[in-house]
Amino acid sequence: MRWAILAILAVLSGCSNRTAAPIVPSALDIGVNKTVFVGTTRQIDDDGTFGIRRSSTLALLELQVSIPPNREIGTISDGLDKPDPERDFVIAQQRQFETQAQFRTRLRQQLGRDGNASNEVVVFVHGFNNSFADTAFRVAQLANDLDLPGSVVTYSWPSRGHPLGYEYDADSALFARDGLQQLLENIQAGGAKRIVLVAHSMGGRLVMETLRQLEIKEASWSHRNVSGVVLISPDVNVDVFRAQTNAFQKLPQPFIIFTSQKDVILRLSAGLRREEERLGNIKTVEKFDDLPILFVDISAFDDKSSGNHFVAGNSPALLALLKSTEALDEHFLRGDVGTLGGLPGQRRVLRNATQILIAPTDLR
């Protein structure tokens, strides 16, 4: 059974080792360029690229990611070692900062240039089976498709970038806690007044462990410095998550968890552990009704390319909804039932927790 599950994971992930990240300067003149700051605890390989080995030193970088023209919303095309800027996402420029002070200065400059009055920084933490380029492309795609304000940063922890590297990645996610803490502290010191943490899959485990670590070091650090947490399909044990939340005097707000009953990857992850569910495909939220958490159930949406594991980042209809965050606050969170951005939904309130079930219009 174990090997059958691993074989399915390999098929879903395309059976490729996606570690290539060539820099193509000519791509600066093609498509849309997005500035992406990166913190990484990947070790630099002999060819100068950030590979799969772990480094105890946090490297800080600034990338220009070229997004190809005529691309459909929610899609990412990666040309691996032979990218075509007319068709693929490409790293067009890369600069590594020599010191953390240089990173903080550059981030402060970028925040000022963006005219972002709130000084907001969105930090994306990837999940299992991601290469250095994968996470840079994903945060650029989300920033572009969601029109995210402010600056974007991604934390590229040392995933093996291979579908059969699940256990290596699980260890790496624990190894990477100190690096993420250091990155968040640098972002805060770089002038960010609002830090929004967005994590996918195994990255949710890393985010929760790091925030717990920060809370133990300095009570209420998260509440003062983090203005929102979004966990997308978190590959986290339900009991472990509950224990992690106990370290917080107050959870950052809003605190949002995207779930799906059709998530193939989480079903396999639970099966490997002989568990019924993971946090990202939880069936009932009653066990968390005392916590101020918004659970968004997107089971009605499909994304076959990811085994329904990243619907929130790949579905054009759902991306359109996520762009309407003000409308989401005004309508769903105050209890209205009806259409929001063309998407009907239902809302349940369980003491402090809220659950929203969203469905495409063709399912009405």
pLDDT confidence of residue 322? 60
- The kind and range of the H/E element at 136 are helix 132-145
pTM value is: 0.89
Rounded CA separation 286/153 (Å): 34
Full domain range(s) for residue 36 = 2-363
β-pairing, 50-67 vs 294-297, is unpaired
Written as one letter, the residue type at 100 is Q
Q: How confident is the model at residue 14 (pLDDT cuts 50, 70, 90)?
A: very low
The CATH number of whichever domain residue 64 belongs to comes to 3.40.50.1820
pLDDT confidence of residue 79? 81
Structure tokens given for 233: 């399909």
What is the number of structural domains in the chain? 1
For the segment 313-323, the average pLDDT, to the nearest whole number, is 64
Rounded CA separation 146/181 (Å): 26
Rounded CA separation 201/234 (Å): 4
For the segment 139-157, what is each residue's pLDDT rounded down to a tens digit? 999 999 888 877 999 999 9
